[in-house]
Chain A
Amino acid sequence: MKTIKNQIWSAYQKEIADDHYYFARSCIRQNFFPASENLYIDILRNVLGKDIYDDSRQTTCTGIAYHSGLIPLETTMTVIARQFALMNEAGYENFVVSCVTSFGLYVETLETWKHFPETEKETREALKRATGMTFSIPKNLVHASDVIYKFRKEISDKIILQLKNKNTGYPLKIVDHIGCHYAKIFPHEGIGGAEYPYVLAGLIDEWGGQQVDYPERRHCCGFGFRQYLIKSNRSYSVTNSKKKLDSMLPYKPDLIIANCPGCTFFLDRWQYVIAEMEGKTYGENGYGIPVLTYEELAGLLLGFDPWDIGLQIHQVAVEPLLDKLGIVYDPEKKYKGRNGEDIGLPEKPQVLRCC
């Protein structure tokens, strides 16, 4: 679907390096979607033929703690400086960030150093005192979804399926959800800016799907950092996710894709909670709307086995989507452990239909 918004999107473009990336992992993604980052690396290396370095020495950027009001900006900036130093030591100049919270904070750090140069000097001195390390600022710093966007046409040339319903031939209706910190803090750092981000919409357009433009498209998923972290505050989170889900429901989306680990998690898990608490489900026939990361979607279209890329770890069942796409899958393999080990099955929710 091409619209007048393409003119706005074209005004917000950014440089995305062509090759040789240093990869910074995400705290949330590696736990809750534990196969997704390896799939990302696999697609870059083996589908696109790119060089991407996975460093065992990197750590959190501390973003969740920082945005929860727990630690000072100086601490976060110095941890980020250490990541840059590790990138330098590994011989790379292009930094790719898996997490949207991290991406926002890396950009915020660079902007802070630009506008308050004394803070860069202080960070350099603190890092040196603490670790003996020095660093150079990356030549290029992007979010992981930016790279998939950059190579969306190359991926399109290799996919074996389009985003179409195999029974009707119509494009699948797909909601794109962009993490707030991707472009709301620094719109010029996001493809398409803050109001009309195109980083995932571009994938939907390129791979044959249809974007869903619903009223709350740009609303936050409701993470809220400390609002989710503390159990007694979690109504904040589920209420905001519900607002989005209720808003998209009349458009009957076949799929939600997100570029932020937290958003992917919340839009998946809160569907389960809403179903169990209120008896409300958002998909067809008692199912939820499947929620995938952008590389999980790319992986499916490229022909990866859904159970090899971890889609059984989502609480909302993905089978309705697989059936629409015409993907053949083995239900028996879904919950097998290493080497086909029988490790039992998850309990079934009372309301939300799962396979």
Chain B
Amino acid sequence: MKDLYKELDKDLRYLEGLKSCLNCGVCTAICPAAEVSDYDPRRIVDTIQKRDESELEKLLKGDEIWMCGECLSCKTRCPRGNTPGYIIQALRAQSIDTGMFTESEQGRKQLAVKRTVGDHILKYGYCVYIDEVDNDMYPEQGPVWKWLRENRESMLERLGTSYNKNQSGTLRNTSQGSLVDLQKIFDETGGTKRLEKIEKDSAEKAKELNIDFKEGKDDYFNWLYNE
């Protein structure tokens, strides 16, 4: 793979995120992800600013860029005005666009994110929707949520929501017109292309790994989501 930096240099988030790093490590000290994993924003920024194509390729094919939690605490604290979290956004985009995301365990999991949050946006108009959040996939939701979901018609009406109704208010149905607008915006701005790329490259990786790949909560999804 050549000219990775040529492409990266076009990314706004990369341009904004990297000015000049002095390697002080404040970003790593404040980082919640660095506390719980091998993620090290200082190391990533230092690697990136060396402009070594092979080192960049290693990052794009590796797990580390997927470990950031995007809290952006690093933006507040960097004394040089860098934002490692923005650089991560640019690297993740490039990892997907080049297909390298399927080379790492964490990168592959983007399919699971796509098939939950990504698909929910275009189906419901929201990233999250009660009908999709069951206690098997989200056991930490606990018994109150389970009870609410089982009784949602009654309870959500008692709480004054617009669940399943075509009107304004909480949890209302998003109109077909709004969903069409969202789809057209996705088509026009690269959102659809990105989501299709994730599906296409994941299908190839699933085939290579000999794991059943169809759609929705298939074997490949469940493997990525649970393990």
Report yes or no: A344 in contact with B151, Cβ–Cβ below 8 A: yes
Interface segment among A67-75, A164-172, A206-214: the answer is A67-75
Report yes or no: A337 in contact with B72, Cβ–Cβ below 8 A: no
Question: Cβ of B69: which chain A residues have Cβ within 8 Å of it?
Answer: 220, 222-225, 227, 236, 240
Residue in contact with B71 in the complex, picked from A31, A129, A220, CB distance below 8 Å: A220
Interface segment among B21-29, B190-198, B204-212: the answer is B190-198
Report yes or no: B146 in contact with A31, Cβ–Cβ below 8 A: no
Q: How far, in angstroms, from A274 to B227 measured CA to CA in the complex?
A: 21
Which residues of B from 199 to 218 have beta carbons under 8 Å from A?
Answer: none
Contact indicator per residue, chain B 123-163, by CB within 8 Å of chain A (1) or not (0): 00111111001000110111111111001001111111101
A6 within 8 A of partner (CB): no
Q: Nearest chain A CB to B100's CB is how many angstroms away?
A: 13
Report yes or no: A348 in contact with B13, Cβ–Cβ below 8 A: no
Q: Nearest chain A CB to B63's CB is how many angstroms away?
A: 11
Given A112-B12, A227-B69, is A187 in contact with B76 using a C-beta cutoff of 8 Å? Answer: yes
Q: Nearest chain A CB to B9's CB is how many angstroms away?
A: 14
Given A25-B170, A57-B175, A112-B12, is A224 in contact with B154 using a C-beta cutoff of 8 Å? Answer: no
Interface segment among B45-53, B54-62, B108-116: the answer is B108-116
Which residues of B from 57 to 94 have beta carbons under 8 Å from A?
Answer: 66-67, 69-73, 75-76, 88-89, 92-93
Report yes or no: A272 in contact with B140, Cβ–Cβ below 8 A: yes
Chain B residue nearest in CB terms to A68 = B113
Q: How far, in angstroms, from A13 to B170 measured CA to CA in the complex?
A: 31
Count residues of A near B (Cβ-Cβ below 8 Å): 95
Given A28-B128, A75-B189, is A310 in contact with B168 using a C-beta cutoff of 8 Å? Answer: no
Which residues of A from 117 to 173 have beta carbons under 8 Å from B?
Answer: 119, 126-127, 129-131
Report yes or no: A230 in contact with B112, Cβ–Cβ below 8 A: yes
Residue in contact with B70 in the complex, picked from A35, A60, A225, CB distance below 8 Å: A225
Q: How far, in angstroms, from A72 to B75 measured CA to CA in the complex?
A: 20
B33 within 8 A of partner (CB): yes
Q: Nearest chain B CB to A252's CB is how many angstroms away?
A: 24
Q: How far, in angstroms, from A119 to B181 measured CA to CA in the complex?
A: 20
Question: Cβ of B167: which chain A residues have Cβ within 8 Å of it?
Answer: 56
Report yes or no: A180 in contact with B71, Cβ–Cβ below 8 A: yes
Chain A residue nearest in CB terms to B73 = A184
Given A35-B159, A74-B189, A224-B70, is A236 in contact with B33 using a C-beta cutoff of 8 Å? Answer: yes
Q: Nearest chain B CB to A157's CB is how many angstroms away?
A: 26
A338 within 8 A of partner (CB): yes
Report yes or no: B154 in contact with A185, Cβ–Cβ below 8 A: no
Report yes or no: B143 in contact with A346, Cβ–Cβ below 8 A: yes
Report yes or no: B168 in contact with A56, Cβ–Cβ below 8 A: yes
Report yes or no: A232 in contact with B225, Cβ–Cβ below 8 A: yes
Question: Cβ of A78: which chain B residues have Cβ within 8 Å of it?
Answer: 185, 188-189
Q: How far, in angstroms, from A233 to B13 measured CA to CA in the complex?
A: 25
What are the 6 tightest A-B residue pairs by CB atom distance, in nearest-first order?
A224-B69, A337-B154, A69-B92, A75-B191, A346-B147, A56-B168
Q: A131-B185, A234-B140 are in contact. List 15 more A-B contacts (CB 8 A).
A: A31-B129, A35-B161, A65-B117, A74-B190, A180-B72, A184-B73, A223-B69, A233-B109, A235-B36, A239-B36, A273-B140, A315-B141, A335-B147, A341-B154, A343-B154
Interface positions of B (Cβ within 8 A of A): 12-13, 16, 32-33, 35-37, 66-67, 69-73, 75-76, 88-89, 92-93, 96, 106, 109-110, 112-114, 116-118, 121, 125-130, 133, 137-138, 140-148, 151, 154-161, 163, 166-172, 174-175, 177-179, 181-182, 184-191, 194-195, 198, 224-227
Interface positions of A (Cβ within 8 A of B): 25, 27-28, 30-32, 34-35, 37-38, 54-60, 62-65, 67-75, 77-79, 82, 104, 112, 115-116, 119, 126-127, 129-131, 180-181, 184-185, 187, 194-195, 219-220, 222-227, 229-236, 238-240, 243, 269-270, 272-273, 308, 310, 312-315, 335-339, 341, 343-349, 354
